[in-house]
Structure 1
Amino acid sequence: MFNAARGAARGTIGTLGLKGESLLRIPLKDLPEQYTLAQLQQLWETDNIEDLESLLILDSCLAIPDRLVSQVGDAEITKDLSLRVANIILPDGSIILQDDAPDEHNTTSRDKAIIHVRRKANLGIPLLNTLLLGLPSSRPSSLPEPILLTLISFSSPSPYAPWTSPSLSCVASDILAKYTIQTLTLPFLSAHLLTTIIRPLFSVSKPETITSSGRKAMTPSAPQRTGTENLQRSRKPWKYEAVYSIAVFAWVVDNIPASLISQTWHLFTPPVLTLLDDPSTPIRIQGSQILSRFLPHMSATLLSQSGLGELFEDALTPTLLFLPNLTPLEESLELLPAAYNALMVLCDVRFPEPKQDVSTSTNLTVRHAEEAKAEVPDVKKERLAFLDRVMRNGIVTSYSYAQEHPSIISILLRQLGIILPKLGIHAVKHIRDILPIVTLILTNPFSPSQTPLLLSAILALRAIVLNAWPRLLTQDMYRLEVLKSLCMCWQNVLRDDGDMERKEEKIEEVKKEMRVVGEMMIKAGEAAGVGIRVEVERLVEGVPEVGGLFGM
Structure 2
Amino acid sequence: MTGHDFIPGVIGSLVVPTEFSHYERIADSDTTIRLERWKGDARIYLSQVQDLVDRGEHLQLSLKNQADIVTAVAAFDGQGSWISEPLRKLATKILEAFSEPTDSMLEQILSQNVKPVFRSNPHPYLSEATGRKLPRAAGGPMASQDAYEDQTWKSRPGISNVISWCIGNASSRSYESLWHLIIPPVMTFLDDYEARYKLCGIQLASNMLKSVPRELLRRTGVDGLLLRSLLSTLNHLRNPETPSLIRAAVPATLSLIHGTTAPGSSQRFEQLCSLLGDGIIGGVWIYAYADPDTIEASIDVLPDIIITLGIGAARYLKALIPQLVHPLIPVPLTQPSGPMQLAALRALGTVIDVCAPRMCKWKCTILEGVGKCWVSLVDSGAEDEKAYAVKVALRDTCAKLAIACPTIVEGEYSQMVAFDPILFKGLVIPLEHVESQ
Question: Which AA in structure 1 matches 2:242?
Answer: S
CA distance in 2, matches of 1:140, 1:292: 31
Cα deviations across residues 293-344 of structure 1 (Å, max 9, x unaligned)? Answer: 10122333332222111101111222112222xx3xx222222212222212
Percent identical pairs in the alignment equals 22
Matched, 1:452 2:339: yes
Matching residue of 1:119: 40
Matched, 1:390 2:304: no
Matching residue of 1:217: 134
Matching residue of 1:93: 18
Matching residue of 1:479: 363
Contact 1:202 1:237 survives alignment (8 Å): yes
Matched, 1:533 2:410: yes
Contact 2:52 2:58 survives alignment (8 Å): no
| Offset, 1:291 | 0.3
> SS at the partner of 2:20?
coil
Contact 1:448 1:492 survives alignment (8 Å): no
CA distance in 2, matches of 1:419, 1:224: 34
Contact 1:238 1:246 survives alignment (8 Å): no
Contact 1:317 1:394 survives alignment (8 Å): yes
| Offset, 1:171 | 1.8
TM-score of the aligned structures, taking structure 2 as reference length: 0.89
Alignment of 1:242-391 (within 5 A): 242-324=156-238, 327=239, 330-351=240-261, 353=263, 376=264, 380-391=265-276
Residues 459/107 of structure 1: CA separation in 2 closer, same or farther (3 Å cut)? farther
CA distance in 2, matches of 1:405, 1:534: 38
CA distance in 2, matches of 1:420, 1:334: 20
CA distance in 1, matches of 2:32, 2:246: 28
CA RMSD of aligned residues (A): 2.4
| Offset, 1:456 | 0.8
Contact 1:90 1:150 survives alignment (8 Å): yes
Matching residue of 2:123: 207
> SS at the partner of 2:21?
coil
CA distance in 1, matches of 2:221, 2:376: 51
Matched, 1:550 2:428: yes
Question: Which AA in structure 2 matches 1:431?
Answer: L
Residues 304/245 of structure 1: CA separation in 2 closer, same or farther (3 Å cut)? same
Question: Which AA in structure 2 matches 1:331?
Answer: E
Alignment of 1:476-515 (within 5 A): 478-498=362-382, 503-515=383-395
| Offset, 1:188 | 0.6
Unaligned 5+ runs, structure 1: 1-73, 354-375
Q: Name whichever of 259-268 and 411-420 sits farther off.
A: 259-268
CA distance in 2, matches of 1:150, 1:351: 38
Question: Which AA in structure 1 matches 2:305?
Answer: I
Matched, 1:424 2:321: no
CA distance in 2, matches of 1:439, 1:454: 9
TM-score of the aligned structures, taking structure 1 as reference length: 0.71
CA distance in 2, matches of 1:302, 1:131: 39
Matching residue of 2:433: none
Matching residue of 2:434: none
Matching residue of 2:320: 434
> SS at the partner of 1:204?
coil
Question: Which AA in structure 2 matches 1:249?
Answer: I
Match of 2:152 among 237, 249, 269: 237
> SS at the partner of 1:550?
coil
Q: Name whichever of 515-524 and 541-550 sits farther off.
A: 541-550
Residues 248/223 of structure 1: CA separation in 2 closer, same or farther (3 Å cut)? same
Contact 2:299 2:344 survives alignment (8 Å): yes
> SS at the partner of 1:96?
helix
Contact 1:91 1:244 survives alignment (8 Å): yes
Matching residue of 1:403: 289
Contact 1:277 1:284 survives alignment (8 Å): yes
Contact 2:171 2:211 survives alignment (8 Å): no
